[in-house]
């Protein structure tokens, strides 16, 4: 069973993503901010990471940089799920080596197919 | 001199009792006495002396003036012969009578030959007295004759010396002027020797031109003009003509002209000098006659000596006679001052100079005969006449044309002065030294200084503002160099210390010779214009500033709005995501889901929809307030009741997690406020206080309503706000780092701030991290009676 770490400061959204991915048969770990996320990456070793960008204390870009600095996770797929709707932000996320950029709001299908594609 | 013996004799007879001095040479006392007795017997007052030697005799001769010497023929130490010799040497005419005892014929002849006057014998003394008388008489005759001869001789000698030594040429002519005798000066004067001239005619040597002269005829006429000198040219031997001045003396004999004596003097040098003088005088006369100025010469008594042609021309008189001219001058003309008053005759320049000895210059006077008025400029000067008295030269020129021109110019100048003075614009002038010399009425009115106060003062020093002195000095210098200055704004001081601005044109001022003598400034008081312009400029600047500010604000607003829109959309996306996932979840797994699970998802959807509705309301409120669409709508409320109601609402919506401690102090129960805005403020502040103090159980609301101010304070004991965040919390969608997972639209405090500002109030934050936050609101109240519905 693939492990997916979801990091978002919006708790109700975090719950929805968890519920959705669990139903799809993934092992879902949630974190409510970037520090929490980093802690959980080292303890759980996720196969895929979904992260928000706009978070308190440490934003998504800093987080991605930190994840990539961990040898094991240099190639771990990262999906950015952000309410930032600009092309610039998406471009920036890819430069930070995010594997996918999904704008909020998105459909469940969109998210699931993106995960499946990256975990193939 | 004529000698008349008879008369002398008579005189002698009468003077017999006169002393008779007889020197007697006699060695015999007896004989001496005998002789004396004999002579005294004849009645003579006898004075005698007896000598015996030659020495005695010579001494006696000198001592007395002897009439007769009577000598013995032979004495022991002397004799008659020696005595006679001595006598005759010195006194050739002193009678010497020898009286001898014995005498031979031969001795008597010898004695007579030696000069004895008579020879008597002692025994024949009767003859003695007559002999003495006779000899004295003869001696006196001879003496007198000799004296006459001598006088004549001396006189002749004197004339000869005179004729030979005088410089003049003295000649004797026959009546036809033939030279009979010629004085020695001829050599010097005429170059002829005297003998060369004898026989020549004087008239032949006279210059032919001069022969016509009347005086020359005097040679031929029996002139009456004897003694009067006249001059003519005379040819010298060398052919050169010289000037002679000659005096003639006609000598008549028996009514017949027989001789002419001429005395001539060479006056060539004088004559040449005279000619030179005459020539120079003629020249001088020519100059006087030809100069344009009129000249009149007065003597010391004020009578005209002479006048020139210009004088008669200028005074329009035809007379050439000095006497007539003087008469005309005193009787025909009337004299005027330039003011057309009568010129007092005593003040005429000639009379003034005559009286004072001082010159008069440039006296302007009008002279009028029956015709036109003539204007003269008159000068008078004293001069020394040949008689050493002071005369006066008066010179004058006709200045009628100039005078008429000047009068016209004066009239124009007067008109100009009036124009300057009364012109309805400030006009002022300065001289070459920058001193004010023109200051018209308008200038006086504007500055408050009268003309008399400022004349002679320096414009720059007195009236120009410090900051302009250099510039104005340059400007005036330029004008003095002939450069016109136009439209210069000149600020000047007025009497009251106020500054007025003159729009100033400066032009050089010139005299009749076109020389620049100063600057004349014509201005326009533009103080009001300037003030108006300055006000306008200020207004424009103000408006521009306002506009720029508005523009800036607009720009900021646009940026803010675009940021707001982007942030608002971001804020909408999160709840939308939750809703989407929740609905997708139900759809996707509906067959697998129980009712409870579906119910839970639907609740969540509702919750997010509700949140979005709040968000939408807040966004709209902000949008409205920013576009100025919110209008204050004050209503009268009971503030205590109002607050209580809000507290209840908030407590309910926050699920009673905190207790709201409420205190209120108010002067009035009911106040006029915008209910909706106040509600927004309080709900947001209380909700925030509760949200940001998780784990605490209370928040505080203090309301004080006094002195027309509504003071509200919301306090919590929560997490507090970082210093750097305290200013940003009022920005829309700003979320502090510590906000974390706390839910909110991010617009609460923005709305509070807008709501407070709409009511002209203020917000203050006082917060410390970890200790809590205090937010104070102050809103000025309006009287509830003033609100209008």
pLDDT of B735 higher than 70: no
Residue ranges of E strands in B404-544: 427-431, 436-439, 485-493, 499-510, 516-525
What CATH number is attached to the domain comprising B252? 3.30.450.20
pLDDT of A119 higher than 60: yes
Instruction: Tell me what pLDDT residue B287 has.
Output: 78
Of B580, B738, B741, the CB nearest to A106: B580
Of B573, B592, B604, the CB nearest to A105: B573
Residue whose pair of structure tokens reads 């608002």 in the numeric block: B568
Which chain A residues have a beta carbon less than 8 Å from that of B585? 16, 19-20, 23, 108
- pLDDT, one tens digit per residue, over B312-344 is 888 888 877 888 888 887 788 888 888 888 888
User: Which of B565, B567, B581, B692 to probe the A interface (max A CBs under 10 A)?
Assistant: B581
Interchain proximity B741–A57, CB inside 8 Å: no
Instruction: Tell me what pLDDT residue B333 has.
Output: 83
Domain-located, residue B369: yes
Q: What number is the average pLDDT over the span B10-28? A: 70
Euclidean distance between CA atoms B508 and B479, whole angstroms = 5
Interchain proximity B585–A19, CB inside 8 Å: yes
Interface of B with A (CB under 8 A): 566, 569-571, 573-582, 584-585, 588-589, 592, 604, 607-608, 735, 737-741
Percentage with pLDDT > 90 across chain B: 10
**Same domain, residue pair B442 and B341:** no
Instruction: Tell me what pLDDT residue B5 has.
Output: 45
Instruction: Tell me what pLDDT residue B222 has.
Output: 53
What CATH number is attached to the domain comprising B759? 3.30.565.10
**Same domain, residue pair B775 and B636:** yes
Q: Which two tokens stand for residue B703?
A: 């309301």
Q: What number is the average pLDDT over the span B281-309? A: 83
> Residue B173 class from Cβ within 10 Å (0-12 exposed, 13-18 middle, 19+ buried)?
buried
- String of b and e for A28-46 (b: at least 16 CB within 10 Å)? bbbbbbbbbbbebbeeeeb
> Residue B429 class from Cβ within 10 Å (0-12 exposed, 13-18 middle, 19+ buried)?
buried
Of A12, A33, A56, the CB nearest to B578: A12
- Specify which residues B382 forms β-bridges with: B392
Instruction: Tell me what pLDDT residue B609 has.
Output: 92
A108 touches chain B (CB under 8 A): yes
Interchain proximity A9–B579, CB inside 8 Å: no
**Same domain, residue pair B213 and B297:** no
Instruction: Tell me what pLDDT residue B742 has.
Output: 62
**Same domain, residue pair B647 and B713:** yes
Residue B208 main-chain phi, psi, to 5 deg: -55, -35
What interhelical angle do B527-589 and A108-119 show, nearest 10?
70
Which chain A residues have a beta carbon less than 8 Å from that of B578? 10, 12-13, 16
Interchain proximity B574–A104, CB inside 8 Å: yes
**Same domain, residue pair B197 and B318:** no
**Same domain, residue pair B521 and B493:** yes
Chain B residue with minimum CA distance to A34:
B740
- Domain range for B387: 291-404
**Same domain, residue pair B238 and B327:** no
Q: Which two tokens stand for residue B452?
A: 């008399």
Closest among B439, B506, B496, B520 to B471, alpha carbons compared: B506
The minimum CA-CA distance between A36 and chain B, rounded to whole Å, is 13
Give the 3-state secondary structure of residue B347.
helix
**Same domain, residue pair B15 and B134:** yes
Residue whose pair of structure tokens reads 């008239």 in the numeric block: B203
Interchain proximity A16–B741, CB inside 8 Å: no
Which position has the higher pLDDT, B453 or B105? Answer: B453
Q: Which two tokens stand for residue B402?
A: 């100039």
Number of domains in chain B: 5
The minimum CA-CA distance between A111 and chain B, rounded to whole Å, is 10
Break chain B down into helix, strand, coil percent, rounded to 5: 50, 25, 25
Angle at CA B529, nearest 5°, toward B526 and B530? 85
Domain A3-119, CATH number (from 3.40.50.2300, 3.90.550.10, 3.40.1160.10, 3.30.43.10): 3.40.50.2300
Euclidean distance between CA atoms B94 and B178, whole angstroms = 51
- String of b and e for B568-593 (b: at least 16 CB within 10 Å)? bebbbbbbbbbbbbbbbbeebbeeeb
How many CA atoms does the CB half-sphere of B130 hold within 13 Å?
5
**Same domain, residue pair B74 and B17:** yes
What CATH number is attached to the domain comprising B69? 3.40.50.2300
A116 touches chain B (CB under 8 A): no
pLDDT of B103 higher than 80: no
Q: Are the C-beta atoms of residues B625 and B758 closer than 8 Å to each other?
A: yes
A32 touches chain B (CB under 8 A): yes
Euclidean distance between CA atoms B103 and B73, whole angstroms = 8
Instruction: Tell me what pLDDT residue B664 has.
Output: 93
Euclidean distance between CA atoms B613 and B635, whole angstroms = 27
Instruction: Tell me what pLDDT residue A31 has.
Output: 93
Top-confidence range, B7-11, B189-193, B284-288:
B189-193
Chain B residue with minimum CA distance to A13:
B578
Interchain proximity B581–A85, CB inside 8 Å: no
- pLDDT, one tens digit per residue, over A57-98 is 788 899 999 999 999 999 999 999 998 878 888 999 999 999
The minimum CA-CA distance between A64 and chain B, rounded to whole Å, is 20
User: Which of A83, A86, A87 to probe the B interface (max B CBs under 10 A)?
Assistant: A83
The minimum CA-CA distance between A62 and chain B, rounded to whole Å, is 16
Euclidean distance between CA atoms B65 and B139, whole angstroms = 13
Euclidean distance between CA atoms B443 and B425, whole angstroms = 7
Q: Is the pTM of this model over 0.90?
A: no
Q: Where do runs of H (alpha helix) occur along B221-348?
A: 268-290, 309-314, 322-331
Percentage with pLDDT > 70 across chain A: 100
Instruction: Tell me what pLDDT residue B18 has.
Output: 65
Which position has the higher pLDDT, B761 or B2? Answer: B761
Which chain B residues have a beta carbon less than 8 Å from that of A25? none
Instruction: Tell me what pLDDT residue B2 has.
Output: 42
Final residue before a domain boundary, out of B470, B491, B525: B525
Domain ranges of chain A: 3-119
Instruction: Tell me what pLDDT residue B583 has.
Output: 93
**Same domain, residue pair B313 and B264:** no
Domain-located, residue B78: yes
Euclidean distance between CA atoms A116 and A30, whole angstroms = 19
Final residue before a domain boundary, out of B207, B239, B273: B273
- pLDDT, one tens digit per residue, over B656-670 is 889 999 999 998 888
- pLDDT, one tens digit per residue, over B594-650 is 889 999 999 999 989 988 888 888 888 887 877 777 888 889 999 999 999 999 988
Q: Which two tokens stand for residue B524?
A: 């326009």
**Same domain, residue pair B209 and B256:** yes
**Same domain, residue pair B115 and B177:** no
The string of DSSP codes covering B577-605 is HHHHHHHHHHHHHTTT--HHHHHHHHHHH
3-state secondary structure B628-697: CCCCCCEEEEEHHHHHHHHHHHHHHHCCCCCEEEEEEEECCCEEEEEHHHHHHHHHHHHHHHHHCCCCCC
**What's the farthest any 2 CA atoms get from each other in chain A?**
35
Interchain proximity A13–B570, CB inside 8 Å: no
Q: What is the DSSP letter of B15?
A: G
Interchain proximity B741–A106, CB inside 8 Å: no
The minimum CA-CA distance between A65 and chain B, rounded to whole Å, is 21
Q: What number is the average pLDDT over the span A41-48? A: 93
Of A9, A33, A105, the CB nearest to B577: A105
Euclidean distance between CA atoms B455 and B453, whole angstroms = 6
User: Which of A28, A104, A107, A115 to probe the B interface (max B CBs under 10 A)?
Assistant: A104
Instruction: Tell me what pLDDT residue B78 has.
Output: 86
Q: Mean pLDDT of all residues in chain B?
A: 83
The minimum CA-CA distance between B595 and chain A, rounded to whole Å, is 16
Domain-located, residue B161: no
Euclidean distance between CA atoms B381 and B396, whole angstroms = 11
């Amino acid at each position: 069973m693939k492990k997916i770490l979801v990091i978002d400061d919006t708790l109700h959204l975090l719950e929805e993503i968890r519920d959705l991915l669990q139903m799809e048969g993934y092992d879902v770990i949630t974190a409510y901010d970037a520090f929490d996320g980093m802690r959980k990456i080292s303890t759980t070793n996720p196969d895929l990471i979904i992260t928000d960008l706009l978070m308190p204390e440490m934003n998504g870009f800093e987080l991605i940089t930190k994840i990539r600095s961990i040898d094991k996770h240099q190639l771990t797929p990262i999906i950015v799920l952000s309410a930032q709707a600009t092309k610039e932000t998406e471009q920036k996320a890819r430069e930070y080596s995010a594997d996918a950029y999904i704008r909020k709001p998105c459909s469940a299908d969109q998210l699931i197919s993106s995960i499946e594609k990256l975990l193939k | 001199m004529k000698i008349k013996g008879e008369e002398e004799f008579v005189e002698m007879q009468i003077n017999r009792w006169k002393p008779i001095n007889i020197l007697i040479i006699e060695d015999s006392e007896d004989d001496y006495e005998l002789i004396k007795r004999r002579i005294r017997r004849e009645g003579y007052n006898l004075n005698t002396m007896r000598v015996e030697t030659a020495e005695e005799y010579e001494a006696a001769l000198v001592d007395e003036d002897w009439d007769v010497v009577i000598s013995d023929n032979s004495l022991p130490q002397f004799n008659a012969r020696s005595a006679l010799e001595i006598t005759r040497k010195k006194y050739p005419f002193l009678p010497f009578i020898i009286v001898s005892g014995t005498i031979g014929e031969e001795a008597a002849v010898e004695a007579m030959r030696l000069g004895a006057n008579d020879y008597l014998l002692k025994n024949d003394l009767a003859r003695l007295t007559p002999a003495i008388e006779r000899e004295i008489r003869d001696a006196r005759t001879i003496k007198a004759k000799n004296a006459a001869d001598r006088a004549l001789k001396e006189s002749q000698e004197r004339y000869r010396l005179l004729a030979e030594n005088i410089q003049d040429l003295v000649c004797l002519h026959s009546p036809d002027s033939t030279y009979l005798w010629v004085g020695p000066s001829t050599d010097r004067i005429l170059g002829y020797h005297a003998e060369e001239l004898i026989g020549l005619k004087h008239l032949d040597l006279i210059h032919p031109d001069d022969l016509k002269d009347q005086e020359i005829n005097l040679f031929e006429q029996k002139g009456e003009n004897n003694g009067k000198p006249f001059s003519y040219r005379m040819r010298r031997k060398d052919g050169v003509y010289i000037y002679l001045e000659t005096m003639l003396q006609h000598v008549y004999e028996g009514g017949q002209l027989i001789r002419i004596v001429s005395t001539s003097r060479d006056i060539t040098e004088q004559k040449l000098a005279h000619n030179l003088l005459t020539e120079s005088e003629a020249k001088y006369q020519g100059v006087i006659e030809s100069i344009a100025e009129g000249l009149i010469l007065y003597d010391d008594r004020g009578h005209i000596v002479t006048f020139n042609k210009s004088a008669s021309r200028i005074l329009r008189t035809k007379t050439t006679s000095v006497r007539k001219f003087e008469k005309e001058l005193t009787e025909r003309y009337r004299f005027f001052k330039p003011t057309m008053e009568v010129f007092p005759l005593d003040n005429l320049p000639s009379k003034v100079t005559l009286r004072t000895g001082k010159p008069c210059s440039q006296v302007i006077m009008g002279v009028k005969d029956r015709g036109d008025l003539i204007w003269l400029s008159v000068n008078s000067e004293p001069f020394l006449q040949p008689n050493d008295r002071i005369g006066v030269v008066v010179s004058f020129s006709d200045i009628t044309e100039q005078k008429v021109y000047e009068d016209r110019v004066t009239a124009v100048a007067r008109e100009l002065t009036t124009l300057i003075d009364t012109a309805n614009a400030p006009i002022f002038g300065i001289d070459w030294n920058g001193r004010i010399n023109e200051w018209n009425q308008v200038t006086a009115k504007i500055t408050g200084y009268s003309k008399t106060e400022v004349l002679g003062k320096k414009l720059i020093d007195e009236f120009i503002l410090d900051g302009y002195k250099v510039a104005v000095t340059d400007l005036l210098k330029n004008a003095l160099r002939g450069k016109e200055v136009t439209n210069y704004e000149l600020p000047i001081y007025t009497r009251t210390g106020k500054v007025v601005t003159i729009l100033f044109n400066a032009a050089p001022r010139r005299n009749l010779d076109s020389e620049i003598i100063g600057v004349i400034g014509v201005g326009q008081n533009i103080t009001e214009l300037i003030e108006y312009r300055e006000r306008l400029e200020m207004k424009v600047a103000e408006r521009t500033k306002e506009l720029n500010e508005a523009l800036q604000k607009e720009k900021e607003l646009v940026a803010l709005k675009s940021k707001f829109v982007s942030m608002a959309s971001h804020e909408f996306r999160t709840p939308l995501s939750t809703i989407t996932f929740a609905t997708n979840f139900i759809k996707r797994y509906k067959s697998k889901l129980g009712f409870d699970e579906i119910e839970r998802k639907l609740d969540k959807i509702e919750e997010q929809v509700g949140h979005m509705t709040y968000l939408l309301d807040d966004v709209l409120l902000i949008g409205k307030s920013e576009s100025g669409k919110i209008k204050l709508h004050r209503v009268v409320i009971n503030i205590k009741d109002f607050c209580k109601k809000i507290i209840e609402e908030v407590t309910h919506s926050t699920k009673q997690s905190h207790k709201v401690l409420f205190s209120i102090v108010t002067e009035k129960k009911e106040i006029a406020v915008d209910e909706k805005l106040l509600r927004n403020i309080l709900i947001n502040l209380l909700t925030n206080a509760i949200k940001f103090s998780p784990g605490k159980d209370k928040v505080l609301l203090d309301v004080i309503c006094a002195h027309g101010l509504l003071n509200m304070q919301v306090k919590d004991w929560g997490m507090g706000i970082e210093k750097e965040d305290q200013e940003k919390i009022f920005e829309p969608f700003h979320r502090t780092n510590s906000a974390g997972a706390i839910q909110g639209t991010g617009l609460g405090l923005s709305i509070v701030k807008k709501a407070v500002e709409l009511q002209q109030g203020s917000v203050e934050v006082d917060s410390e991290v970890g200790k809590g936050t205090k937010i104070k609101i102050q809103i000025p109240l309006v009287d509830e009676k003033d609100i209008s519905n």
